[in-house]
Amino acid sequence: MKLYDFELSGNCYKIRMFLNILGINYDRHPIDFFPGNEHKGPEFLAINPLGQLPVLVDGTFQIRDAQAILSYLAAKYDDGGTWYPTSDPERLGEVNQWMAFGDMITGTASAARLHDGLSYTQIDVKAARAGAHRLFRILDEHLWFAEREGRSWICKGDTPTIADIACFPYIMLALEGGVSLQDYPAIRRWTDRVKRIPGFTVMSGIFSAGAGVEAA
């Protein structure tokens, strides 16, 4: 299996993390996203005409889009069938709903990070930050009520799903775009739980959880 990858991309990181959780070995094929802009070059555009990372190649099968890759990997390689509950229509719908939410986080929090960090000056950073805060308020409230019902994860059920993986990276990296998590305590408790999922890995800018006991 081969992953077209960039270390500082949260969307690539969610695939690396999930592959590690599933215990799948793979080759990283680094793309010089910045400053090389290799993802907009002819060679990579032949692989993905959208010029976006990540892209996964599994044998003869090739797939792009972080959320699509997560669902493919879970459906194919998660023997327990818990990460992407294809046999439970309601939960499956929920997972897809929150994966789309993860995409909206990419469109806002990640855009603000590109503006601040990689000088994407064409991005309207105020709108991106405001959009991220709006999403974080919604997720924080959702997680707060979930905790009151004794649940730990974004979707119903006792185990995490790929919706948790899809939403996690750009929430953790939001401060790099000037979006603080200070006002979202339920989100911060949830990120600590994600960090304790067996197989969790880090990327530049995201650190592992401390050894302490998780706060309820």
Partner 1 sequence: MLQNVNPTDPVVYNLWHVITAVDDLTPGVPQETALLGEPLCFVLSESGEPIVWKGKIADQTSEDKNARVRAQLKYGYIWVVLGEPEFEIFDIPEYVEDGRRNMNAISVGLNTSAPRVVENFLDMAHFPFVHTDLLGEEPHTEVSEYDVDYNPEEREIWATNCWFYQPKASAASEEGVLAEYKYRVPHPFCAILYKTSPDDDTRLDAIAVLVQPLDETRVRAHLLLSVIDHQNELDKHIRLFQQTILGQDKPILENQMPRRLPLNPRAETPIRADKVSIMYRRWLRELDLHYGVIREVA
Binding residues (CB under 8 A) for partner 1: these are: 7-8, 30, 32, 34-38, 115-119, 121, 175-176, 178, 203-207
CB of 87 or CB of 204, closer to partner 1 = 204
As measured in angstroms, the least distance from the Cβ of 186 to partner 1 is 21
3-state class of 4 per DSSP?
strand
Nearer to partner 1, 8 or 22 (CB): 8
The nearer residue to partner 1, 57 or 118, going by C-beta atoms, is 118
CB of 33 to partner 1, least distance (A): 9
Question: How far apart are CB 148 and partner 1 at their closest, in Å?
Answer: 30
What's the CA gap between 20 and 73, in Å, rounded?
Answer: 11
Rounded least distance, CB 51 to partner 1, Å: 16
- Of 63 and 206, the one with the shorter C-beta distance to partner 1 is 206
* Cβ 27 to partner 1 shortest distance, Å: 14
Q: Which is nearer to partner 1, 14 or 91 (CB)?
A: 14
CB of 157 or CB of 205, closer to partner 1: 205
Instruction: Work out the end-to-end distance of the chain between its first and last CA atoms, rounded to an integer number of angstroms.
Output: 38
* Structure token digits, residue 120: 């994407």
Whether 167 and 153 have beta carbons less than 8 Å apart is answered as: no
Q: Is 39 exposed, middle or buried (0-12, 13-18, 19+ CB in 10 A)?
A: buried
Min dist CB 55 to partner 1, Å, is 17
Cβ-count burial 5-18 (b if 16+ within 10 Å, e if not) = bbebbbbbbbbbbb
Structure tokens at 48: 């993905």
Question: 189 vs 8, 79, 111, 126, 193, CA distance in Å?
Answer: 24, 28, 24, 27, 7
